[in-house]
Amino acid sequence: MSDVAPHIPVLMGEVIDALEPAPGKLIIDGTFGAGGYSRALLAAGADVIALDRDPTAAKFAEPLKATGHFTLLETRFSLMAQALTGQGHTHCDGVALDIGVSSMQIDEPERGFSFMRDGPLDMRMGAHGRTAADIVNDTEPSDLSRMFWVYGEERAARRIAAFLVRRRAETPFTSTLDLAQTVERAVGGRKGAPIHPATRVFQALRIVVNEELAELEAGLEAAEQVLIEGGRLAVVTFHSLEDRIVKSFFTERAGRLPSGSRHAPPVQRAAAPTFDLIFNGARGPSDAELAANPRARSAKLRAGVRTAAPAWRVTA
């Protein structure tokens, strides 16, 4: 496998503009991947602590270590506070998060993320935990249906789950193409659909295997804890479930909660705002970026600047 970085960083210019890296600043690249954001941050003079739970990301870090301003740690970004402490720091000036699966993971059949080429039904970003095959073959039918509905926003969730359960009773699922083709049969073929019928099922499985939404929520709260006053958080998402969490986080933490109406009392604000928004709403890719990288089409960037207010107390 080549060590040349195959992943095209999405919204690169917008992320770097939002973070404002400079000499003397310490920035966490919470989703190192192939190192695209880290290289840009280092080029601007910042020190970078990069995190990635995927052990295969390490091969892209070697050229960056020579700068003397870069460290890669194999860990989840929700554990960024512990990562900082382990490197002799308590706070940082910026956090970048690029949520979801990377192009290099999708393009490696042996990782099991894609239904375009056959591979083991794995989907783990790290080296531990249940695989997608474990979940498809062992989950109760009602839970499987709910998983496809909630995490994949799949309208045919019940039908697909029932079809998979009948099939797995004969032969367990072990490969990506087998699962994709079975889902396609369950919904009656493609019939001119703009996306493959298995797309949402694969999304749901990947999210569950890697606990992605819980990790995102914990990562946002961790960033709030470690950023100094004036520190910047930039988050890129790729589908509505992720973006909803990030939008809600920034809306709450910026104090932009609904004011109520004649028929309902104002929403009680929990604490002083911990972020000021860098721009309203979300920013997407330019036409030029879309032409160069069609996978960027669903990307959204949201960003904020840390205020002096204490981090909100998070209840379990």
**pLDDT over 70, % of the chain:** 86
Task: Tokens for 254, please give them.
Answer: 């910026």
At 1 the pLDDT is 36
Of the pLDDT bands very low, low, confident and very high (cuts 50, 70, 90), residue 4 is very low
Give the pLDDT confidence of 140-177 residue by residue, as tens digits: 999 999 999 999 999 999 999 999 999 999 999 999 99
| pLDDT for res 8 | 66
**SS3 at position 96:** strand
Quick one: tokens of 126?
Answer: 């790290």
Domains 12-104+212-306 and 115-210 share a fold: no
Instruction: Give the pLDDT score at 82.
Output: 98
The class of domain 12-104+212-306 in CATH terms is alpha beta
| pLDDT value of position 17 | 97
The whole model's pTM is what? 0.88
Average pLDDT over residues 100-104: 57
Q: Parallel, antiparallel, or unpaired for β 26-29 and 47-51?
A: parallel
What is the predicted pLDDT for the residue at 109? 47
Determine contact, residues 72/50, Cβ cutoff 8 Å.
yes
Q: Residue 118 in contact with residue 177, Cβ under 8 Å?
A: yes
Whether residue 2 is predicted with pLDDT greater than 50 in this model: the reply is no
d(CA 121, CA 74): 23
Q: Domain extents for the chain? A: 12-104+212-306, 115-210
Element holding 303 (H helix, E strand): strand 300-306
Say whether 26 sits in a helix, a strand or coil.
strand
Confidence at residue 316, expressed as pLDDT on a 0 to 100 scale: 53
Cβ neighbourhood burial of 36 (10 Å; 0-12, 13-18, 19+): buried
Gyration radius (Cα) of the chain, Å: 21
Amino acid 188: pLDDT: 86
Span 61-80, pLDDT tens digits? 999 998 999 999 999 999 99
**Could you report the per-residue pLDDT of 238-272, keeping only the tens digit for each?**
989 999 999 999 999 999 876 544 555 555 566 89
C-alpha–C-alpha distance, residues 225 and 222, integer Å: 5
Confidence grade of residue 101 (pLDDT, cut at 50, 70, 90): low
Q: Selecting from 3.40.50.280, 1.10.150.170, 3.40.50.300, 3.40.50.1980, what CATH number does the domain 115-210 have? A: 1.10.150.170
